[in-house]
């Protein structure tokens, strides 16, 4: 037997974690210049941060401002502009096909500045499979019993991590489709899989110090005009990327 209240609280915590994991990859701006769908009540995620201000990213949006700052401001523009997504050659943000070693290598080095380099690469589950396919020919085996595939993968010393909440093309149920940026019948909001090259030293996650809004619980309250009781699990905070130029995103990986 399970304690029903504990089960519901665990479900609420997992739901909150899932929503935040999804929102990390999206944006938090109102609909307007460059933004097709407003999400001003959400955190300011990576789609907004990893943009140079004029070129559309994986979701077809671009962001002349980040948080409350205008990217073309003479004093802060360089720091707030991500590496130019429209760059030609292998480092273009939209891969539009297979991910190869030259593409990954040049994309990685495009955001290396002195001693600063990405330390975490995040992709979808399907994207991880594509990376394995690109590198499988370089794997060597010893002995007579071969174990094909990789369990732990690093690239230039950076860990590659697969995340089910990263934007990709896998079809999901209708309630999740809009949040994940995926289709419900084979179509998807984005084309191909995504791969994020992140320098986590410059990513900060802020959480309210208020005991209620820092993943606090309101307690049980009477519902309207009936004998049911309800409770709210609350969060207030935001994600900030302090140096977008040290990171980038690739999409359209097929």
DSSP state string for 155-199: ETTEEEEE-TTS--S----HHHHHHHT--SSS--SSSSEEEEEE-
* Tokens standing for residue 113: 């500045």
Find the radius of gyration of the CA atoms of the chain.
21
Over residues 146-175, mean pLDDT: 77
Is 60 within a domain? yes
Q: What percentage of the chain reaches a pLDDT higher than 90?
A: 29
Is 134 within a domain? yes
pLDDT value at 143 more than 70: no
- The pLDDT of residue 186 is 43
Is 192 within a domain? yes
Please name the helix (run of DSSP H) or strand (run of DSSP E) that holds residue 20, with its range, or none: helix 4-23
- The pLDDT of residue 172 is 58
- The pLDDT of residue 90 is 47
When pLDDT is cut at 50, 70 and 90, the band that residue 213 belongs to is very high
- pLDDT (tens digit per residue) in 9-31: 888 888 888 889 989 999 999 99
Is 95 within a domain? yes
Spell out the residues 6+ positions from residue 132 whose beta carbon is closer than 8 angstroms to its own.
149, 150, 153
* Tokens standing for residue 195: 């791969």
Q: Which of 193, 241, 244, 212 is nearest to 43 (CA)?
A: 241
Domain count, the chain: 1
Structural domain for 125, as ranges: 4-138+148-253
Lowest mean pLDDT among 114-123, 184-193, 198-207, 228-237: 184-193
Is 224 within a domain? yes
Instruction: Give CA–CA dist 45/64, Å, rounded.
Output: 15
Is 157 within a domain? yes
Instruction: Give CA–CA dist 17/215, Å, rounded.
Output: 10
Q: What is the pTM of this model?
A: 0.84
Instruction: Give CA–CA dist 57/155, Å, rounded.
Output: 23
Is 143 within a domain? no
Do 120 and 127 touch, CB atoms closer than 8 A? no
Higher per-residue confidence, 81 vs 51: 51
From the CB of residue 179, how many other CB atoms can be counted at a distance below 10 Å?
Answer: 16
Q: Which of 66, 72, 22, 13 is nearest to 44 (CA)?
A: 66
- The pLDDT of residue 152 is 66
């Amino acid at each position: 037997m399970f304690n029903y209240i504990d089960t519901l609280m665990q479900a609420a915590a997992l739901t909150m974690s899932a929503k935040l994991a999804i929102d990390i990859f999206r944006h938090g701006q109102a609909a307007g210049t460059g933004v097709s769908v407003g999400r001003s009540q959400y955190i300011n995620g990576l789609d907004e941060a990893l943009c140079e201000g004029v070129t559309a990213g994986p979701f077809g949006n671009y962001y002349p401002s980040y948080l409350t700052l205008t990217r073309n401001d003479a004093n802060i523009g360089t720091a707030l502009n991500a590496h130019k997504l429209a760059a030609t050659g292998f480092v273009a943000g939209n891969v539009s096909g297979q991910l190869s070693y030259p593409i990954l290598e040049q994309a990685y080095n495009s955001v290396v500045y002195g001693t600063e380099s990405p330390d975490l690469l995040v992709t979808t589950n399907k994207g991880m499979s594509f990376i394995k396919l690109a590198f499988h020919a370089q794997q060597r085996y010893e002995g007579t019993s071969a174990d094909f595939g990789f369990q732990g993968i690093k690239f230039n010393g950076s860990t590659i991590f697969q995340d089910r909440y990263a934007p990709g093309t896998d079809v999901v149920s209708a309630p999740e489709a809009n949040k994940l940026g995926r289709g419900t019948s084979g179509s998807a909001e984005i084309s191909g899989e995504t791969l994020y090259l992140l320098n986590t030293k410059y990513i900060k996650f802020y959480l309210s110090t208020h005991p209620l809004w820092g993943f606090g619980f309101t307690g049980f309250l009477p519902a309207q005009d009936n004998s049911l009781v309800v409770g709210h699990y609350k969060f207030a905070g935001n994600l900030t990327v302090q140096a977008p130029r040290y990171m980038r995103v690739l999409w359209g990986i097929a």
